[in-house]
Structure formats: structure tokens, C-alpha cells
Amino acid sequence: MFRKTLYPLAALIVIFGLAALISAQEKKATLTGYLVDKMCAAGQAKKADPMAAASNHSRSCAEKCADSGYGVFADGKYYEFDEKGNDLAKDLLKNSKKEKGIKVSVEGNVHESHLMVDKISEVQ
């Protein structure tokens, strides 16, 4: 009888512990930086000043490379968007009047170098 109760209880403790650990690794954040497609971001990350390279990235290139996905260069690091972020980035690019250096503010949950996007807006 004791084993029938102990094993499920131990399993629940492990599951809740893992869930707490995973959620603790994600943090809510607002990042401000330059919107760049994933394909071009790899090359820009290798430059001496990735932020300067990202600030010169053109809207037409970002739209052309849309299938690779999007992200934001913020604080010298590239954060890759989730699917929702990619959709929001496409809409933003379509409506932007800027030709280069699309600066954005992105709200969402950061997990390592991935960003689960809640909201994205252009910064003037």
C-alpha cells in the first residue's frame, strides 16, 4: 500500500520540480534593437560591431529573406523570434516607411537566445 502512494507522489514532485526549473529559465523582457532576418544575422554576428552592421540592414533584404525567420539584435546579441514573432515582424516590415535600420521594441519571454514574442513595435 505504501508503494502505491509513494511512487505517484514522487513522480509528481519530480514533474513539478522540472516545470519550475524550466519556467525559471524564461524571463519576461523588453528588448530594443534592430530587426534582422536570420539568414543575414549570422554574417552580422561575425562583424566587429554587430549592432552597427544590423543598423545598416535594409528592409528589402529582410523581406526577401523572410523564409529564414526574424530576430532582433539587442545589446550586441541576436535573439531569434518564435513563429508569432516572425508573423508580427513581416507585418511590421510591410508597414514600415524606413528603408534601413528598422529599430524595434519587442516584448516577450526570453529563453537563452530565443524570444517568444508578445508584441513588436517600431521605434523612431
Count CB neighbours of 28 within 10 A. Answer: 10
Check residue 113 and give its pLDDT. 87
Residue 41 makes CB contacts below 8 A (sequence gap 6+) with 54, 71, 73, 78
The average pLDDT across 69-73 equals 95
**pLDDT single digits (tens) 36-64:** 999 999 888 888 889 999 999 999 999 99
> Sign of torsion, CA 69 73 78 82?
negative
**Statement: residue 34 has pLDDT above 50:** yes
Instruction: Output the pLDDT for position 1.
Output: 57
Q: Please provide the average confidence, as pLDDT, over all residues in the chain.
A: 86
Cell (9 digits) for 25: 529559465
> Which pLDDT score is estimated for 76?
86
107 strand-pairing partners: 30, 119
Average pLDDT over residues 2-14: 61
Q: Tell which wins on pLDDT, 26 or 91.
A: 91
- Stretch among 22-26, 87-91, 98-102, 120-124 having the lowest mean pLDDT: 22-26
The model carries a pTM of 0.77
